[in-house]
Amino acid sequence: MHGLLSESALCQGLDLAPIDGLVFGGHEVRRSDFVASATEIHQNGGSIQWPVLQALRGELRALSRNVVPGALANAGRTIERLVGDDGGKLPQRRPLRAQIEAVQRDIRAFQRRHGLDRVVCVNLTSTEPPLPLGKAHAALAAFEQALDRDDEAAVRSSALYAYAAAALGLPFVHFTPSNATLTPAVCELFERTGAPYAGADGKSGETLVKSALAPMFKYRNLRVLTWQGYNILGDRDGKVLADDDNKSAKVATKDGLLPQILGYPLHTHVGIDYVPSLHDHKTAWDFIHFEGFLGHRMSMQFVWQGCDAILAAPLVLDLVRLVDLAARTGESGPQRHLACFFKQPVGVPEHDLHAQWHLLTEWLQQQRAAAQR
C-alpha cells in the first residue's frame, strides 16, 4: 500500500496496531457523511476510483454514524461561513467547559461502543486564524482559569479538543498549523497525564520537497538568495486558506524551515491561492535563486502536482499507529522522532528531512530492539 510508511519494510517487526483493527469516528461541525464526501472526491478529482468507492460504500455509511456534532469556539468568519454554506447552521454558543465535557463523553462512548483498547485523537479541523497567545496559554493553571470564566477569546475550537484529549490522557496528533492547539498550557496537561503528542501541520507536498532539497545547497556551499513558492489549490481547504487570516497561519509553518536548514536568513515567499477548478489537485511552483563560485547566479524551479488528501491520509494512519505504539510502550510528551511528518515539529527544531528521517529510523530501531527482548 503505497504512501503508507507503517506498512513498508521499515516498520516490519514492530507491534503496530493492525489497520483492520482501527475504528474511525470523529466530531464535525458541518453536515456531512463519508459516502457523500468520497463521492465528491471521486467526481472532482478522480483520486478515489469508482470500484473503490463501490466496495467501500457500505462501510463508509456505517462509519458515518460514528461522527457526532463537534465543538466550535472563536473559529473565525470563514470557517463559520462554511458551516452555513454546507447547509448546516451554526450551533448555539455553549460554555467552553460544557463543550469540552461533551467531547470527552463522546470519546468515551465511542470507545465503549466499539470495545476499543485506546482512542487516539487527531486534529484535522480547518486551519484556524492565528490566536494571539498570552499569559492564559503559558501555563495550565491560567488556561483552566480562562476556561472556567468561559473566555472564548482565549481559545479556538482545536484548543478544546486538545485539552479534552490531554485531560483524558489520550495520545494526540496535531495535523494542522493552528497555533491555538498545542499551547504550553495544553502541553503541560499532556505531560501531567502522561500521554504522547505529535505535531504540527502534516508535511505532505511543497514543504516536503523544500525540506528534502534545501540541504543540497548546504552540501555544496551554494548560497540560496531567494526561495519563492506559490501554491494553488481548490476545495474546502483552498476556500479556508483564501482568507488572509487563516492563510497567515499556514504560511508561517511553510516558510520557517529554510533559515533553519540553511543556517542564514534569505528572501522567501509562500503564496497560497484558491483555484476552484483544481479541487484537490494541488499544484505548487517554487523558484530558487542561488549563487555559486565567482558570485555567479543560477536557478532551479520545481512544480509539484499532488493530491493533498491522497498524500495526507496515509500520514494520518501512520501517525495514529506510531503514537499508539508509543503510548503502549510507555512513552509520553512530544514525539520528536516524528518530526519528518510535520512542517513544524514539536519539541525539536529540525527541518532537514534527512536529519528527521534519522530521528525516526533510530527510534524504530530502538522499538524493534525492545520488542525482541
Contact 231, 207 (CB under 8 A): no
The alpha helices in the chain, defined as continuous H runs, are 34-44, 50-64, 77-85, 96-114, 135-138, 140-148, 157-168, 184-193, 206-219, 235-241, 244-255, 257-262, 308-328, 353-372
Residue 296 binding a copy of itself, by CB under 8 A: yes
Give the residue with the Cβ less far from a copy of itself, 264 or 373.
Answer: 264
Residue 116 binding a copy of itself, by CB under 8 A: no
Contact 197, 333 (CB under 8 A): yes
Residue 24 binding a copy of itself, by CB under 8 A: no
Give the residue with the Cβ less far from a copy of itself, 188 or 291.
Answer: 291
Residue 354 binding a copy of itself, by CB under 8 A: yes
Residue 298 binding a copy of itself, by CB under 8 A: yes
Q: What is the DSSP string of 241-304?
A: HTSHHHHHHHHHHHHSHHHHHHSS--EEEEEEEE-GGGTTEEEEEEEEEEE-GGG-EEEEEEEE
Contact 142, 89 (CB under 8 A): no
- Report, in Å, the least distance between residue 41 CB and a copy of itself: 10
- Report, in Å, the least distance between residue 277 CB and a copy of itself: 4
Residue 65 binding a copy of itself, by CB under 8 A: no
Give the residue with the Cβ less far from a copy of itself, 110 or 304.
Answer: 304
Residue 216 binding a copy of itself, by CB under 8 A: yes
Contact 205, 284 (CB under 8 A): yes
89 secondary structure, DSSP code: -
**Cell numbers given for 214:** 534545501
Among 22, 273, 349, 365, which residue sits at the site for a copy of itself (rule: CB under 8 A)?
273
Q: Which residues bind a copy of itself (CB under 8 A)?
A: 1-5, 7-8, 10, 46-50, 52, 208-209, 212-213, 215-216, 219-223, 225-226, 228, 230, 232, 267, 269, 271, 273, 275-278, 283, 285, 287, 289, 291-307, 310-311, 313-314, 340, 353-354, 357
